């Protein structure tokens, strides 16, 4: 991502932390980023284009954190627990992530349409931001499918090194593995909307997955 674009998105994110999105001015975002207002419009086209790009960046950042959580060298239940903990932490620290995961956008946040919008920009990153933005249901699918892919690969590697592989565990059944992962994802999202009590999200996920044979 070009340095100017990243600086503009950083400036927009900082501005949003200080005031409601309707009060954020493009001229102030450009000044904070150290570029001209024309550069800002060349890059994003409009304030809505800036909002879409900002939401897309925060979505990508959240999903990158999911990747890191799933990559931890732990068993399946603990990888999913780490993913759930990252989900609740990201939502607590980032209002845009929370809004994307729950679908609840407050009046102080930008709320760009999730549908793709036409673009005349020649900037590749801008065209990507003009594409459809993920809905809460899309996040369930994205995180579930990534978890299935990672855990399936890890399970196969583990089985290959066992003298007597256990062929009948739920991790070896694609449908059961998908159900197992989706349960963890949906529990994590429920904790974003309604934080759990004693034991936190980790205790909730571990308990639920233990009962599922994780």
* Tens-digit pLDDT profile for residues 157-211: 655 555 444 444 456 688 889 999 999 999 999 999 998 887 789 998 998 888 7
Tally the domains of the chain: 1
Asked, for residue 58, whether it belongs to a domain, the answer is yes
Here the CATH number for the domain that contains residue 145 is 1.10.357
Fill in the DSSP letter of residue 117.
Answer: -
Token output for 160 = 């290959």
pLDDT at 125: 55
Higher pLDDT, 3 or 65: 65
Domain that holds residue 72: 45-211
Asked, for residue 169, whether it belongs to a domain, the answer is yes
Question: Using one digit for the tens of pLDDT, what is the confidence trace for 130-150?
Answer: 778 899 999 999 999 999 999
Residue 82 parent element (H or E): helix 76-93
Asked, for residue 17, whether it belongs to a domain, the answer is no
Asked, for residue 172, whether it belongs to a domain, the answer is yes
pTM value is 0.86
Per the listing, tokens 């309604």 go with 194
Query: How many CB atoms are located within 10 Å of the residue 160 CB?
Result: 8
Question: Using one digit for the tens of pLDDT, what is the confidence trace for 5-50?
Answer: 999 999 999 999 999 999 999 999 999 999 999 999 989 988 999 9
Asked, for residue 9, whether it belongs to a domain, the answer is no
Asked, for residue 13, whether it belongs to a domain, the answer is no
Q: What is the CA radius of gyration of the chain?
A: 20
Question: Using one digit for the tens of pLDDT, what is the confidence trace for 75-134?
Answer: 899 999 999 999 999 999 999 999 999 999 999 999 887 777 766 555 555 555 677 889
Asked, for residue 85, whether it belongs to a domain, the answer is yes
Asked, for residue 60, whether it belongs to a domain, the answer is yes
């Amino acid at each position: 991502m070009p340095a100017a674009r990243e600086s503009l998105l950083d400036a927009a994110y900082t501005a949003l932390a200080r005031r409601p999105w309707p009060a954020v001015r493009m001229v102030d975002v450009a000044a904070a980023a150290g570029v001209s207002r024309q550069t800002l419009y060349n890059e994003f086209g409009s304030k809505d284009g800036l909002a879409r790009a900002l939401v897309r960046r925060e979505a990508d950042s959240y999903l990158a954190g999911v990747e890191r959580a799933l990559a931890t060298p732990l068993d399946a239940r603990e990888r999913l627990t780490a993913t759930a903990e990252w989900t609740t932490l990201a939502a607590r620290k980032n209002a845009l992530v929370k809004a994307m995961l729950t679908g609840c956008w407050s009046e102080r946040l930008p709320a760009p349409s999730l549908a793709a919008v036409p673009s005349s920009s020649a900037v590749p990153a801008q065209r990507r931001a003009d594409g459809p933005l993920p809905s809460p249901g899309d996040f369930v699918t994205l995180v579930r499918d990534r978890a299935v892919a990672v855990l399936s690969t890890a399970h196969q590697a583990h089985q290959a090194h066992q003298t007597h592989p256990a062929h009948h565990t739920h991790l070896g059944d694609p449908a059961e593995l998908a159900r197992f992962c989706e349960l963890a994802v949906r529990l994590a999202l429920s904790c974003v909307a309604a934080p759990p009590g004693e034991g936190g999200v980790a205790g909730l996920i571990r308990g639920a997955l233990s009962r599922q044979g994780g």
